[in-house]
Amino acid sequence: MTTTLPLAQSHCSDDSSRWCETVFDWTSNAWLANYSEMLIATPLRILLIVVVAFLTRYILHRIITRLSRTNGEAPKLLQPLRERRGEAVSGETLAEQRSQRARTLGSVLKSVISFVVFVFAGFYVLRQFGVDLAPLIASAGIVGVALGFGAQNLVRDFLSGMFMMIEDQYGVGDWVDLGEAGGTVETVGLRVTTLRDINGTVWYVRNGEILRVGNSSQGYAVAVVDLPVAHSSDVARAQEVAQSVAASAAQLEPLSKDVLEKPEMLGINQITSDTITLRLTAKVRPGQQWAVQRLLRAEIKRAYDEADIKPPYPAGRLMPEPGEQQ
């Protein structure tokens, strides 16, 4: 009496996957069973890889979005990073700067995560087709080096922008001097910083071209008021009047909210053949030094007129032109 092998074993080799036997048991189709690995198993694995990749990307993006969110306090994404903002910055400005910085860093992290997740997913998909990844990775490295040399300015802009964000060198609303351009920062991107100068001109500055940054809006600023008086004036009296007027004005609106410390009279700053220049300074909120300077000058000028402290030149006479006989 002879026995026969099960029908499935006559079509599926010993080293074939279990998909072959399962599909043959379900369909009794030998061709479909023999190609079940390519037609069913491989597409299902690829689909699973794609789904896991998108799900991972979605979860990580949601986490970054939550960390970047501001609810009246510093975003959690920025808490491990250094922040150069002082208490002198107004709450609204500080919140806007933090929000813009968190959004930019969050956008970068999301892009990096998307790139890494999809690259690894692509590698796993190629493995399902039996592709040898070693030569592919080596080729990708060579192409990456070539692109890096070709786009080195772009890479430098992005890296510079990233470090500016991490180090909090400046933010939206800060008054900065970037060399050839200076003004109020309107947007801070990874490649370009946009600022508007005092004339209303918008400047687009590539981050890779910024060699130094002068920020007048971090912590506090100093309002410097130079007061020219005539040689015939009582200098001690002029200093006393300026100090008294500035101290009184700093305690009243609108200066009281901007002046952080009592104004200080430094004394004689410069002496020329025509003028004695006194200098007075005041520690103020960042970005408010120019407004404070203008108001203090107006108050001191009024007080000098009342105290009969003479200006360098008599009223109604213009300053002499260069080369004019004195």
Q: What is the pLDDT, as a whole number, of residue 321?
A: 46
Mean pLDDT per 10-residue section of the chain, whose length is 326 residues: 43 52 58 57 81 93 81 61 53 64 76 86 81 69 63 77 79 82 83 87 88 82 90 89 90 86 90 90 86 91 89 58 44
pLDDT at 119: 85
Tokens matching residue 243: 């100090």
Measured in whole angstroms, the distance separating CA 2 from the mean position of its chain's CA atoms is 82
Q: What is the pLDDT of residue 228?
A: 92
DSSP 142-192: HHHHHHHHHTHHHHHHHHHHHHHHHHT---TT-EEE-SS-EEEEEEE-SSE
CA distance 187 to 25: 65
Task: Label the pairing between strands 175-177 and 214-215.
Answer: antiparallel
Q: Measuring CA to CA, which residue among 155, 206, 154 is closest to residue 180?
A: 206
Q: According to CATH, where is 2.30.30.60 located in the chain?
A: 167-213
**Could you say which architecture CATH assigns to the domain 219-305?**
2-Layer Sandwich (3.30)
Residue spans in the chain of domains classed CATH 3.30.70.100: 219-305
- Please tell me the distance from the alpha carbon of residue 175 to that of residue 313, in angstroms, as a whole number: 35
Q: State the pLDDT at residue 146.
A: 61
| Architecture in CATH of 167-213 | Roll (2.30)
How many C-beta atoms surround the C-beta of residue 224 within 10 A? 15
- The CA distance from 246 to 283, in Å, is 12
User: What tokens were used for 203?
Assistant: 């400047």
